[in-house]
Amino acid sequence: MPVKVGGDKVPWERTRLACAGAEGLWPDIHGLLGSGGTPSTPAPSRSQVPYANPARLYWPGMSKPALQAPALDAETSYIDVAGVRTRIRILGEGPPLVLLHGLGGCLEEWRFNAPTLARERRVYVPDLLGHGWTDKPAGPYTPLRFAEFLHGLLDRLGLESAPLVGHSFGGAICMLYATRHPERVTRLAVAGSAGLGPSVSPLLRMLSLRACAPLVRIRSRAAIRLAARRFVARPERRTEEWVETTYRRLAIPGGRRVFLDVIRSTLRVRGLSPEWLSEIHSVLPVLRAPLLILHGRQDNVVPVRNVEYAKRLLPQCEVKLFDPCGHDLPYECADEFNREVLNFLSRDFVLDSKVSQDG
């Protein structure tokens, strides 16, 4: 049975191989077509189908196979947070520490941080609302809704107060929550954080347009390897492990819908939405908890100039810049990040407006 791929009709055996060459993103085409039986001839090798470009393999009605959630272990479980089934990892003993990942992420983002931080803290690492393997209820997904989810999470965990650490969009949630419930937040550390200023990646601004929604598709690991340069500045950290972990979290069912919902609630094609920009101006000046800002100089998602913008609104915040370092700071500069966070949490806080740089 021939199948049309990129304008050509090819035997389904070859299409099946091309589908397999798409890095496992789609199921066996034989099962999709529902044609009983098995191939009468062995499938050709991948080199025999040079025209089979995995990035072009789309058929009307085709959907990605449902990935299996990672197996639970002694540290990972599901809890109910205000009716939302929430995946969370809890490890270590000592004073509490809550880590919040970024937009489109999951708790695995902290795989190089949580074990180290857990040597001195009891670390709570959730999949945020609509992210990872936590439930994905209907939208809208606004920053305030995420802050309310965080409030419910702390209540469910029995934490009267705790320091919060957030990456990217997770940092914005931390700061927003701290202004609404200052008694619940003892300290704040944010890395590559959104919500510090008005500058945003042009690509993210473009995605606020509904016509650009089709661009948010994960087609292959090869595409992620190409995108790595925009997120990870240090070449030695653009590893196959990073590619695989990124690929798997972005392929989790339902994630694309939530990602676009957040983008549309916070961004416009010209930049931040007026509502979100107004929120920044109201949030930063009234933060009571000590704030540490960690940022990469080569961050292409949240430009580093936002840090100086935040510094003008909150002069007493501490700033640590990393060079070279991109947006995925907790991964790319894991050792430095862990050291800075533990130092920030352990010492008596002293107001310090000095901007330091990690060379």
Using one digit for the tens of pLDDT, what is the confidence trace for 50-90? 322 323 222 233 334 446 788 888 899 999 999 999 999 99
Beta bridge partners of 10: 3
Burial of 330 (0-12, 13-18, 19+ CB in 10 A): buried
pLDDT (0 to 100) of residue 277: 86
Reported confidence tier of residue 270, pLDDT bands at 50, 70, 90: confident
Identify the band that residue 349 occupies on the pLDDT scale cut at 50, 70 and 90. low
Instruction: Judge whether residue 47 has pLDDT over 60.
Output: no
> What are the start-end ranges of the H helices in the chain?
12-20, 29-33, 114-117, 143-157, 169-180, 202-206, 221-231, 240-250, 255-266, 274-283, 305-313, 329-332, 334-346
d(CA 178, CA 351): 18
What phi and psi values does residue 41 have, to the nearest 5 degrees? -130, 150
Q: Which of 35-39, 108-112, 132-136, 267-271 has the lowest mean pLDDT?
A: 35-39
Note the pLDDT of residue 67.
67
- pLDDT score at 311: 95
- Give the mean pLDDT of 197-224: 83
Higher pLDDT, 311 or 208: 311
What is the location of CATH 3.40.50.1820 in the chain? 76-358
| pLDDT tier, 220 (very low <50, low <70, confident <90, very high otherwise) | confident
Phi then psi for 80, rounded to 5 degrees? Answer: -95, 120
pLDDT at 333 over 80: yes
Say how far apart CA 240 and CA 221 lie, in whole Å: 9
Contact criterion met (CB below 8 Å) for 277 and 195: no
Select the highest-mean-pLDDT range: 106-120, 203-217, 259-273: 106-120
Residue 185: what are its φ and ψ, rounded to 5°? -120, 120
pLDDT of residue 136: 97
Residue 161 confidence (pLDDT):
97
Rounded distance, CA 335 to CA 319, Å?
Answer: 17
The pLDDT of 126-136, averaged and rounded, is 97
Is the model's pLDDT at 14 over the cut of 80? no
CB 338 within 8 A of CB 118: no
pLDDT given for residue 213 in this prediction: 73
Lowest mean pLDDT among 54-58, 129-133, 190-194, 315-319: 54-58
User: What is d(CA 328, CA 169) in angstroms, rounded to the nearest whole number?
Assistant: 12
In the chain, what percentage of residues exceed pLDDT 70? 77
State both tokens at 3: 């199948």
Half-sphere exposure of 120 toward its Cβ, with a 13 Å CA cutoff?
A: 11
Q: Contact at 8 Å (CB) between 90 and 122? A: yes
The answer to whether 252 and 106 are in contact (CB under 8 A) is yes
Q: What percent of the chain has pLDDT over 90?
A: 62
Give the number of residues written for the chain: 359
Q: In 3D, which of 260, 111, 107, 102 has the Cα closest to residue 172?
A: 102
Burial class (CB within 10 angstroms; exposed 0-12, middle 13-18, buried 19+) of 74: exposed
Structure tokens at 76: 């990972």
Task: Give the pLDDT score at 28.
Answer: 27
Domain 76-358, CATH = 3.40.50.1820
Q: What is the value of pTM for the model shown?
A: 0.79
β partners of residue 96 = 122
Task: Say what the pLDDT of residue 68 is.
Answer: 77
| Tokens found for residue 253 | 């069912």
Reply yes or no on whether the pLDDT at 29 is more than 60.
Answer: no
For 27-31, 243-247, 348-352, which range has the lowest pLDDT when averaged over its residues? Answer: 27-31
Question: How far apart are the C-alpha atoms of 129 and 169, rounded to whole Å?
Answer: 12
Mean pLDDT rounded to a whole number for the chain: 81
SS3 label, residue 211: helix
Q: Is the pLDDT of residue 245 over 50?
A: yes
pLDDT, residue 337, reads: 98
Report the half-sphere exposure of 168 (CA within 13 A, side-chain side): 25
How far apart, in whole angstroms, are the C-alpha atoms of residue 270 and residue 274? 10
Lowest mean pLDDT among 30-39, 97-106, 185-194, 226-235: 30-39
